[in-house]
Amino acid sequence: MELQEFINNFAEQFDDIDASALNGSTIFKDLDEWNSLVALSVIAMIDEEYDITLKGNDIISATTVEDLYNIVQSKK
Amino acid sequence: MAFIEFKNVRIAGISTGVPKHIEYTKDNPNISSEYDAVDFIKSTGVESRRIDDRFTTSDLCCAAAERLIEDLNWNKSEIEVLIFVTQGPDYICPATACIIQDRLGLSKECYAAELPLGCSGWVYGLSYAASLLSTGNVRKALLMAGDSKFIMPIPDQLSSHAGTVTALEYEEGNDGFKFHFGTDGSGWDAIYIPDGGARNGVTPKSFELEEINGKQMCRLQSRMNGMDVFAFAISTAPKSIKKTLEHYGVTMEDIDYCILHQANLQIDEIIRGKLKLPPEKVPYSLHVFGNTSSATIPITINTQLKGKIENKPTRFICCGFGIGLSWGTVLFNTDNIVLSNLVELD
């Protein structure tokens, strides 16, 4: 799994955010479009693409996109 | 592996009681500070719900039971088993099932028991009733399942009030029910009411408001870790359904309808996608009835398949999953099933 691929998949969960606008150090909870419904889509994407079942605390404890990527990596 | 099979039992009919009062999601200006009603409906699928705090679950179930008993032309004295599935009993004790025996005028020669499960509850209740009937020692059972008002109202926009009744009877030679069950109690606090049980009784502190997921709630109201429940549901339910099909040697092509617990459309659409099922095989009721807890599976069969399946053999796989965490999947056939008209209480 590559970070860039993860960022692309992450960006797809938003209506108006292009992957080029994000990088590993993006603080995703500060994005205008971020809300609890998007969080569910991110959990669904990680389940679908990486076969990993996240906990709510995984999302809560992550700050940047790369933090989330690392959490997914650690559960593989 | 909790695979359990009971033969010689069939579903004779299903009925549903709901409050007549409808609450429309679009009319609610206070959905969330994060998103508006349009986005909420798009994500959750819940356009309207039935809510009326005048009626307990047993009120809704008893009204539905009277209708179904009449539609089936059953004699009340023949009903020897009553299973009541709810998380909203009339009293903390005694079991509401006992009160219902008298209220419905059932025989005192009646096995009555209660099961405090939520979203998985209908499937579990079905296994109770089927296990008793499959002996042939008792011949007719009512399985009541639903939730309406709790000790205090839940300030959410998903849960709705409904009480269903599933009538079951002994039938020699019937293929019966094939189950798979699972439990993960490590997620017990993913959905729970903190106070009011024996662990934490009711104290003045129980009524103090605290902020939970952006809402002011007290400790007598049900709270949920939505992300944990969501992740559990999309991973566990499809696995249980696939295991059930594989264990009993059935393929998805053999199934006419897959009925899922419906708490949130996004969850159900992900599960449907994983199972590669077309929309017509996965009917939903949550757009009009919301999340009806243990009533969801029977209310969906009753209201969404009425007029379509009564007179032809129909094969179902149904999966309930949620609070507990608890899940159950069941395979069964129906034929000549009675689906009553919706009973609305006003």
Find out if CATH 1.10.1200.10 is the number for domain A3-10+22-75. yes
Partner residue opposite A43 with nearest CB, options B35, B40, B231: B231
- Cβ of A53 within 8 Å of Cβ of B232? The answer is yes
- Contacts of residue B63, Cβ cutoff 8 Å, sequence gap at least 6: B17, B163, B343, B345
Q: Is A44 on the interface with B (CB under 8 A)?
A: yes
- Contacts of residue B331, Cβ cutoff 8 Å, sequence gap at least 6: B177, B178, B179, B244, B245, B248, B250, B315, B316, B317
pLDDT at B32: 73
> Where in B176-241 does DSSP place strands (E)?
177-183, 191-192, 210-212, 215-217, 223-224
Average pLDDT over chain B, rounded to an integer: 95
Taking contacts as CB-CB distances below 8 angstroms, the residues of chain B near A43 are 227, 230-231, 234
Q: Is A53 on the interface with B (CB under 8 A)?
A: yes
Domains of chain A, residue spans: 3-10+22-75
pLDDT at B78: 96
What digits encode the pLDDT tens for the residues B106-150? 999 999 999 999 999 999 999 999 999 999 999 999 999 999 988
Partner residue opposite A59 with nearest CB, options B227, B232, B270: B227
Smallest CA–CA distance from B231 into chain A, residue: A53
Gap between the Cα atoms of A67 and B306, Å rounded: 50
Q: Which two tokens stand for residue B342?
A: 């919706």
- Contacts of residue A27, Cβ cutoff 8 Å, sequence gap at least 6: A63, A64
For domain B1-346, which CATH number applies: 1.20.1250.20, 3.40.50.720, 3.40.47.10, 3.40.80.10?
Answer: 3.40.47.10
What digits encode the pLDDT tens for the residues B272-326? 999 999 999 999 999 999 999 999 999 999 999 999 999 999 999 999 999 999 9
Q: Is B40 on the interface with A (CB under 8 A)?
A: yes
Report the predicted TM-score, pTM, of the whole model to 2 decimal places. 0.93
Taking contacts as CB-CB distances below 8 angstroms, the residues of chain B near A36 are 32, 34, 213, 226-227
- Cβ of A47 within 8 Å of Cβ of B234? The answer is yes
What digits encode the pLDDT tens for the residues B317-344? 999 999 999 999 999 999 999 999 999 9
Binned at pLDDT 50, 70 and 90, residue B36 comes out as: confident
H or E element at residue B106: none
Q: Say which residue, B62 or B40, is predicted with more confidence.
A: B62
Smallest CA–CA distance from B274 into chain A, residue: A48
Q: Which two tokens stand for residue B17?
A: 């009681």
What digits encode the pLDDT tens for the residues B231-251? 999 999 999 999 999 999 999
pLDDT at B40: 86
